[in-house]
Amino acid sequence: MNITFNHKQFNNLFPFHILIDQNGRITGYGKTLAKLVNLPTGALFFDQFKIVRPEGDIHRFEHLLQHMDQLLVIEINPSKRIQLKGQFELLTDTKEIVFVGSP
* Pairing mode, strands 18-20 and 96-102: antiparallel
Tens of pLDDT, residues 67-88: 888 999 999 876 667 899 999 9
Which residues make Cβ contacts (< 8 Å) with residue 54, sequence separation at least 6? 67, 70, 72
Cα–Cα distance, 74 to 13 (Å, whole number): 19
Query: DSSP strand E in 1-103: where?
Result: 18-20, 26-29, 49-53, 72-76, 83-91, 96-102
Mean pLDDT confidence for 26-50: 89
The whole-number pLDDT of residue 79 equals 63
Mean pLDDT confidence for 5-31: 91
pTM for the structure as a whole: 0.87
Sorted by where each starts, the structural domains of the chain and their CATH numbers stand as: 13-102 (3.30.450.260)
- In 3-state terms, what secondary structure has residue 51? strand
